[in-house]
Amino acid sequence: MQSSTHRIEPIAGSSSLQRIFYCVAALAVLSLGLAAAGRFLGHGISLGGHTEDTTLQEIVIGNTVLALPANMIRFDRQRRGGVAERVDIYLHWPDMQGYRPEFIQDFNGSGPEKRLLFVTFEPRAISQDMSDRYGPIYSTLTDGPGVKGPAGLTIQTLQTESGFVNEELIVSPQRAGKAPFVARCLDIETSRNNLASCQRDIFVGEDLQLTYRFPREMLNDWQQIDLQMQAFAQAHIKGLK
C-alpha cells in the first residue's frame, strides 16, 4: 500500500483513547513497511524468476508448518524448507494456482486483466486482525458513514491526518455470527497502475497472520476471495486438514 511518512496527532484524555492512539501508531509503523511493497507491486513491473517446480516445501514459521509448492513461492531464496521469518507467495485467481507457463502474462503483470493475489504468511504482530480492528481503530479514522460500493460493500474515506494517504476503507454489512470484511484500498485513480491495490489480513493457524493483496477490480468477488484465502490456509497448514 502506498503511504507517506505517517504523522499522528496526540490523543489526550481517557486511557481508552490512549490505547486507541497506541494501536493507531503501531498500525502506522506497520503501514510504512507495507508501503514499500505497494510501490514495488504498483508499476507494471515484471515478476521474473518464476518456477514450474511443484515440489512441496515445508516452511516453519513460529509454531506452524506450511507445506507449499515451490511454484507458489515468489522469491527463489524462500523456495526451500526449514525455519523462516515469513514466506511470500503469489496465486493466480480464481483457480488459486502457482505459476504455470500458460499464466505467464498474468504473472508478469502484462495480461489484459489483473489476476494475481499476493499473500504473506508471518507471525502475528498485533492482537487483532483487520476485522476486529475496525470498531476500536479504523472506524475512528474515517470521514462520515461512506458511500455505496460494489457487492454490498461500503467505501469510507480515511482522514488525511490518519496517515493512510490515498487510501479508503472497504467494509461489508454486518453479518450474523461473522466478523465484517474489512480491507484497505488505494483510491480508484491510484489503483489504476497497481497490480494489488487492496489489502486485508486475517489470523490463521495457531499464531500466524495471513496478509493478502488483491486488485481493487476484484472487490465484486470479495466474499469468494475471502473464503478462498481461508480455505487455502487450512489446506496448506499441516495438521489443519
Task: Name 114's Cβ contacts closer than 8 Å, sequence gap at least 6.
Answer: 106, 195, 196, 215, 217, 218
pLDDT digits (tens, 9 = 90+) for 63-121: 999 999 999 999 999 999 999 999 999 999 999 999 999 999 999 999 999 999 999 99
pLDDT digits (tens, 9 = 90+) for 14-68: 444 455 545 555 555 455 444 444 443 433 334 569 999 999 999 999 999 999 9
Domain boundaries, the chain: 15-236
Q: List 69's β-bridge partners, or say none.
A: 56
0.75 surpassed by pTM: yes
Confidence class of residue 5 from pLDDT cuts 50, 70 and 90? very low
On the question of a cis peptide bond just before residue 94, with omega within 30 degrees of 0, the verdict is yes
In the numeric block, the cell 514459521 is attached to: 61
Q: Give SS3 for 12.
A: coil
Task: Name 117's Cβ contacts closer than 8 Å, sequence gap at least 6.
Answer: 90, 91, 93, 96, 196, 212, 213, 214, 225, 229
Residue 92 near residue 69, CB atoms below 8 Å: no
Task: Name 192's Cβ contacts closer than 8 Å, sequence gap at least 6.
Answer: none
